[in-house]
Chains A and B, each alone.
Chain A
């Protein structure tokens, strides 16, 4: 499959001299749903807006469907890029009805074709019965579907969505998330979605790109990202994790937990960071660690333990729950390591 989006080494700094994007690169294949995630201020929205032409990068190049839309010599206006953009605030035009909003992007398209298109996407997004309402007369969830229908109706080469779940009710989020991904897949559109919640990313992405300090630190499938983060920065945005500094030895690693058996190809004495998920540890009844606090999370408990300022979180079931201040140890049954620079 050909790549729909190709971003190469895009840099952007705003007037104050702070670099928001520093050499960010990213590719997306046709019909792929990509997710951009990263700490706030990492440049997610700026990158998304640069693709749409709403920001102009200082350097680097962006191609959409094989056509260069932005490089040192080219800048294509947003209106000529054939991308659909779903804004965080939906940006529905308040003076137009739902139907007129969806028709807005079909300016210049043959009237009958435009009408068919509007019907099709209103049906797809199940908003046909709202067609003569105004944006302020419909709910937030409905507004979002109208905005999506409006963006899809122009049948863009790709769809860009800026934090689509930040303005939706927490109770409805899972449903809206599923619906939206189904709609995007049904319309066979490549999409890049900015989210700030890793749960959302895991639920919808074919490919997750982690943006840290203006650079794409890793692009990978959700499974790969979770099991093998490329850096501790990436690991820290992929959910609850223990990052322990360690030294390689002939049999494995030495770290705060103790000596861990683990085959590796590092030289003895080389520094590394161990990435251990709370569910990949078991609690042992004896050890040098003290139970500091416990947090109930529905399926079980997240237990935080401390030893000499080092902290480790472990996931336990109600049956094996210790008490605060109990002395405990750990047994690690799965880990990933990152070689220190």
Chain B
């Protein structure tokens, strides 16, 4: 009853208002950045197009809380802007927060939309041109609805990620579901934590429902014929170039340069034993979770591949929900059974590395699984059948035929999960061991500690660096795939 009452209170609370507004504004801004950049690189002939095309993914390497931190350091009193011009701005409000989140999350919209636009039939564009569609605006209104599935899919990710975000709103003092779940995370107040999680879960369900409703049931893309990607982009656009460059400068180059500048003054920190310990601990957590996820993903997807088993495919769908559910809610989901175990067995399980790894595995199962399964699907079943008919067992076939062909994808999946875990904040905040911090937690705590503000750029930069590395590596694997 207490939980129900608390839940009803949460529905009408400030955190509901803030969470909805953050999700809405982040999606709005991200669609402006994502659509315009995808449109420009697809349809206009800008200089360095090949480079810009994939540099536009880079902001994804910066976690929102790092973006919030850098911006504060820039605009706050005594910040960089103040030093240059004597002007400082208070940016700790919900609109700027959403803007900053969308600046690093818009690649979720940009990437699928660009891929989808590239596959658009060229003759349709040409037909529209013949029919007199001259302005870009009119053309957009004609073409974009056909790519609704990619667009909405990307926006869903932006929405879920901004709902999941802990660091940035906490840093800006904006109360959201995620910040409240973590704030009440203690035995005395746990019911508030749980009730926030319940409401947030309903919100997630609503987002998923909206996405499934707007998804196109079928899309009539003719497999034959020329695609937009084969078309010569005729329109030279210096405005388009300026838009892309500005976006890249604000969302990636400026924050990275700013952090490089700050950490340049704190180089010694890189070699301090505590920093090395933190890095080591983070690597251990991320690597062991990554390996576990790889193993479970390989086994699950291999079972589906072998038997084309529908009920298992359903199971994978459930496992995959993890990514849709914000980390803080997963934390509650993990905590409740553990708390029950604690009561009955009296073993203190909370706050162990094992528990944290388990929670990571729940949340990132889908990231690993989708990468692994996506690649496995491309291997013709005849490969397995040939191996079986040549006398190998199913496990033997996995080892000697299937896995060797999946090496790049396995590396890719490991890398993706590794980087996601390295920058993960809410789950880590819930289950971290006393005095053992990950890079993300360390960065987050230092940002908020007087005297350590600029030093926080060191772990932050380490996280961003890993993110950039993973994007480059995946890009390389992708090009090899082609």
Q: Which residues of A contact B (CB under 8 A)?
A: 52-54, 77-81, 83-85, 87-89, 91, 93-95, 104-105, 107-108, 150-151, 154
Q: How near does chain B come to A81, taking the closest CB pair, in angstroms?
A: 8
Interface hub of B383, B388, B393, B405 (most chain A Cβ within 10 A): B388
- Are the CB atoms of A154 and B383 closer together than 8 Å? no
Top 8 nearest A-B pairs (CB, nearest first) are A105-B390, A91-B386, A91-B382, A78-B388, A85-B389, A87-B382, A95-B404, A79-B391
Interface of B: prevailing SS: helix
CB closest residue in chain B, given A109 = B391
- Are the CB atoms of B382 and A89 closer together than 8 Å? yes
For B385, give its contact among A85, A93, A150 (CB under 8 Å). Answer: A85
Chain B 69-92: CB-based contact to A (< 8 A → 1; otherwise 0): 000000000000000000000000
Known A89-B380, A89-B382; contact A52-B389, beta-carbon cutoff 8 A: yes
CB closest residue in chain B, given A95 = B404
- Chain B hits for A87, CB < 8 A: 382, 385-386
Q: How near does chain B come to A335, taking the closest CB pair, in angstroms?
A: 44
CB closest residue in chain A, given B389 = A85
- Chain B hits for A79, CB < 8 A: 388-393
What 11 additional pairs, Cβ within 8 angstroms, besides A87-B382, A154-B390?
A52-B385, A52-B389, A54-B388, A78-B389, A85-B389, A87-B385, A91-B382, A95-B404, A105-B390, A107-B390, A154-B391
Q: How near does chain B come to A66, taking the closest CB pair, in angstroms?
A: 20
- Are the CB atoms of B390 and A150 closer together than 8 Å? yes
Interface hub of B383, B391, B404 (most chain A Cβ within 10 A): B391
Say if the beta carbon of B401 comes within 8 Å of chain A.
Answer: yes
State the CA gap A149–B389 with chains docked (Å): 14
Say if the beta carbon of B387 comes within 8 Å of chain A.
Answer: yes
- Chain B hits for A77, CB < 8 A: 388, 393
- Are the CB atoms of A91 and B383 closer together than 8 Å? yes
State the CA gap A108–B383 with chains docked (Å): 20
- Chain B hits for A95, CB < 8 A: 404-405
State the CA gap A65–B196 with chains docked (Å): 69
Instruction: Tell me the B392-443 residues at the A interface (CB within 8 Å).
Output: 392-393, 396, 400-401, 404-405
Q: How near does chain B come to A157, taking the closest CB pair, in angstroms?
A: 12
Q: How near does chain A come to B379, taking the closest CB pair, in angstroms?
A: 9
- Chain A hits for B389, CB < 8 A: 52-54, 78-79, 81, 83-85, 151
* 28 A-B residue pairs with CB within 8 Å: A52-B389, A53-B389, A54-B388, A54-B389, A77-B388, A77-B393, A78-B388, A79-B388, A79-B389, A79-B391, A79-B392, A80-B391, A81-B389, A84-B390, A85-B385, A85-B386, A89-B382, A93-B401, A93-B405, A95-B405, A104-B387, A104-B400, A105-B391, A107-B396, A108-B391, A150-B386, A154-B390, A154-B391
Q: How near does chain A come to B258, taking the closest CB pair, in angstroms?
A: 45
State the CA gap A108–B391 with chains docked (Å): 10
CB closest residue in chain A, given B405 = A95
- Are the CB atoms of A94 and B391 closer together than 8 Å? no
State the CA gap A95–B386 with chains docked (Å): 14
CB closest residue in chain B, given A15 = B310
- Chain B hits for A88, CB < 8 A: 382
- Chain B hits for A105, CB < 8 A: 390-391
- Chain A hits for B388, CB < 8 A: 53-54, 77-79
CB closest residue in chain B, given A80 = B391
State the CA gap A95–B404 with chains docked (Å): 7
Q: How near does chain B come to A43, taking the closest CB pair, in angstroms?
A: 18
For A104, give its contact among B385, B390, B393 (CB under 8 Å). Answer: B390
State the CA gap A4–B387 with chains docked (Å): 23
Q: How near does chain A come to B125, taking the closest CB pair, in angstroms?
A: 35
- Chain B hits for A108, CB < 8 A: 391
Q: How near does chain A come to B396, taking the closest CB pair, in angstroms?
A: 8
State the CA gap A88–B177 with chains docked (Å): 55
- Are the CB atoms of A93 and B391 closer together than 8 Å? no
State the CA gap A130–B401 with chains docked (Å): 21
Q: How near does chain A come to B376, taking the closest CB pair, in angstroms?
A: 14
- Chain B hits for A150, CB < 8 A: 386, 390
For A94, give its contact among B392, B400, B405 (CB under 8 Å). Answer: B405
Q: How near does chain B come to A104, taking the closest CB pair, in angstroms?
A: 6
- Chain A hits for B385, CB < 8 A: 52, 54, 78, 85, 87, 91
State the CA gap A79–B388 with chains docked (Å): 5
- Are the CB atoms of A91 and B391 closer together than 8 Å? no
State the CA gap A54–B389 with chains docked (Å): 8
State the CA gap A52–B400 with chains docked (Å): 21
State the CA gap A79–B385 with chains docked (Å): 9
Chain B 8-50: CB-based contact to A (< 8 A → 1; otherwise 0): 0000000000000000000000000000000000000000000
- Chain B hits for A53, CB < 8 A: 388-389
State the CA gap A81–B392 with chains docked (Å): 11
State the CA gap A277–B463 with chains docked (Å): 78
- Chain A hits for B396, CB < 8 A: 107
State the CA gap A104–B401 with chains docked (Å): 10
Interface hub of B380, B385, B389, B391 (most chain A Cβ within 10 A): B389
For B392, give its contact among A84, A91, A107, A151 (CB under 8 Å). Answer: A107
CB closest residue in chain B, given A83 = B389
CB closest residue in chain A, given B308 = A15
State the CA gap A83–B389 with chains docked (Å): 7
- Chain A hits for B393, CB < 8 A: 77, 79
- Chain B hits for A94, CB < 8 A: 405
